Amino acid sequence: MTPAYLRCISSGCGKVFPLASSRFACENCGSLLDVAYEFAPVEPAALRKLWRERLGSEDPRDQSGVWRFRELLPFLAPTAVPVTLGEGGTPLVEAPRTGRWAGGVRIWAKHLGANPTGSFKDLGMTACISAAVANGARVVACASTGNTSSSMAAYAARAGLAAVMFVPFQAIAAAKLAQAVEFGARVIEVRGSFDDAFRLLRAVAARSALHLVNSTNPFRLEGQKTAVAEILEQRGWRAPDFLALPGGNLGNVSAMGKGLRELVALGVMDRAPRLAVVQAEGAAPFYKHWKTGEPIQPVEHPETEASAIRIGRPANWPKARRELEWTGGMVESVTDGEIEEAKAALASDGIGCEPASAASVAGVRKLCRAGRIPAGADVCVILTGHQLKDPDYILRRRERFEAARVVIDADEEAARRALEALLPA
């Protein structure tokens, strides 16, 4: 079996810990931890072929878009049964109108909202709940802007674990709360921000023997990193020029970067795309840090309608910076108005997503306008969550809604007039 351990990411420390340790910060210096492997050399063509052949298999692991790539996840013993809901295997579709709107680039949308609970969090949750079970956890917990808790609740139910979630009171989408409640999670609503909820959870977790499944749990990122393998496979292993995604707690960009690094190191792909991470203007501490080079400053009252990325203290920023540096990446910030326009552009291609996801597309347009993404570039955007996660966002835009609908009596003449009003000649 491939040797695997937890390793502190700080270059000055680098201390290693056994996989079974359930602490997710370095005991020596407090930095974040990576799951690290000593991969043996592989035959890239044979590995790509093996992954593809598994698409026709009945093994539940092969029907998961995470565990189908299990050679990249050797933290789980080969005999262990992962906790899976058939996550992954999501579509990659071109968005031509959106590409023209953004400034004449080719945009490919990888829709991670097409996962079992409707967000990319499922890719991470299958990995980290499987690791939690292997380590004997009984109660899992997270702080969440909504999607992490929906996903945790589903995978915890599947594994027979209790789940507790800390969420900002009245600040997450109703659909997300409904999902978690149906899966039986206990809900603690904090009068405060996501960052307050996360701080409280961390303060009480150790004493209450809670097993944390936020993205500071490095096993989350192991699952999420497989999205890049799936994208590359769907593209015949030709890397796009750019890979753009929204950034909140910055776990996903860290996962994508780690996945790319490992695939390049194994020789499975020859070059990595440049990563572009996009924050909402009212919640953009990492953007400011990247742009100014100043130490990162938390945003005390993060504000954006894109609630999934309303985060003022992104826990994974050192990992995100590492991944952006090695891919020659970039960071952008966009207004809520720009997010709304991007969401409408995607909708014109028949693609729905939640507001936070559209930030990636809004960022691509801004980077095109600044000349940092050249016209004609091949850009893959990660759509992080499903359109139906936040229908209130759509319905709050009454003008668009009202312009598209007419209520009539059950009467033929009324139907004719309604058609004429809605579809003028």
Ligand X SMILES: *Cc1c(COP(=O)(O)O)cnc(C)c1O
Which residues bind to ligand X, rule: CB under 6 A? 119, 121, 147, 215, 246-252, 308-309, 354, 356-357, 384-385
191: how many CB neighbours lie within 10 A of its CB?
10
CB of 323 to ligand X, least distance (A): 12
90 or 215: CB nearest ligand X:
215
Q: Are 13 and 28 in contact (CB under 8 A)?
A: yes
What sign results for the dihedral spanned by CA atoms 117, 121, 122, 123? Answer: positive
CB of 144 to ligand X, least distance (A): 8
Q: Are 368 and 99 in contact (CB under 8 A)?
A: no
Q: How far apart are CA 245 and CA 316, in angstroms?
A: 15
**What is the number of residues in the chain?**
425
Place of tokens 């594994």: 159
CB of 33 to ligand X, least distance (A): 16
48 or 258: CB nearest ligand X:
258
CB of 253 to ligand X, least distance (A): 6
47 or 151: CB nearest ligand X:
151
Q: Which amino acid is at 357?
A: S
Pairing between β-strand 16-17 and β-strand 4-8 as defined by DSSP bridges: antiparallel
74 or 118: CB nearest ligand X:
118
272 or 356: CB nearest ligand X:
356
Residue nearest to ligand X (CB): 385
CB of 330 to ligand X, least distance (A): 16
230 or 354: CB nearest ligand X:
354
- Sheet of 162-168, strand order: 186-190, 162-168, 139-143, 211-212
CB of 254 to ligand X, least distance (A): 8
CB of 186 to ligand X, least distance (A): 20
Q: Are 102 and 368 in contact (CB under 8 A)?
A: yes
90 or 147: CB nearest ligand X:
147
Q: Are 276 and 330 in contact (CB under 8 A)?
A: yes
Can you name the residues that pair with 5 across neighbouring β-strands? 36
